[in-house]
Structure 1
């Protein structure tokens, strides 16, 4: 019985439906359930956290898109990123810090006390305009504008 179920499962995976070629040259045919597959991930530009340096951006994201971003601090100061509205508008898949994977139900903010890098993978969900900013800063360069379409 187990052998029969295994064969049926393998046969079902081998014949998984694939989207037909699209009329739009920008679209790529993908397996229907492949949203979180590595080839479907869009890598965003790295965010560098350094005292007095701009955050970069802006980001233009698509609702339903799967994204990854590395956030790196150079250790020039204790620096955080706040953006509760943005973090509530995305579904966080995982946060990787020094090889340790965390799968939180959500984020509110991030903070670096020492130099290091964290990688965040997420799905953009709720369309709107958002920002990540360094808490307590007022300059426009200390703010990363984000739009989810």
Structure 2
């Protein structure tokens, strides 16, 4: 019986690959994987204000990276954002509104009836080009172009 246990342990030891030394050039994701701090990036906030541009520049995201951004509504007008294609190309970890954490299975749009801040944390998944815009608008300043590479 002892020989059998020793043989099993030896076989297991051969099957487990040796732990390689970490390369300083590579990002180590650690125990939390995609949700680890080393894989997290903050994006510039989106400002919802009557007549103001949504963002200063398009977003270029990397598939598999965790991102967080804030949407800040100033209350100047009832405004929303619609981006169904983009929201289906990401995995939403959580949405935080006034300290309340929401963990949705999906999202189509958000709307601000009054001033406030919303934070969204997500992992970019599906590569492609997407648009987030204020519904019912056609101006370039009322949309945010997003690319997931």
So what's the TM-score if we normalise by structure 1?
Answer: 0.82
Question: Paired residue for 2:35?
Answer: 36
Shift of 1:39: 3.8
> Are residues 20 and 98 of structure 1, via their aligned partners in 2, closer, same or farther at CA, if it must alter by over 3 Å?
same
* C-alpha distance in 2 between matches for 1:28 and 1:37: 11
For 1:96, what is the secondary structure of its paired residue?
strand
- How many aligned positions are there? 130
1:46 matched to 2:54: no
Question: Paired residue for 1:133?
Answer: 133
Q: Match for 1:21 among 6, 23, 28?
A: 23
For 2:44, what is the secondary structure of its paired residue?
coil
User: What are the ranges of 5 or more consecutive residues in structure 1 without an aligned counterpart?
Assistant: 1-16
So what's the TM-score if we normalise by structure 2?
Answer: 0.82
For 2:34, what is the secondary structure of its paired residue?
coil
Question: Paired residue for 2:16?
Answer: none
* Structure with max Cα Rg: 2
* C-alpha distance in 2 between matches for 1:19 and 1:36: 22
Shift of 1:18: 8.1
Shift of 1:31: 1.5
Question: Paired residue for 1:75?
Answer: 75
* C-alpha distance in 2 between matches for 1:97 and 1:77: 19
1:62 matched to 2:62: yes
Over aligned residues, Cα RMSD in angstroms? 1.7
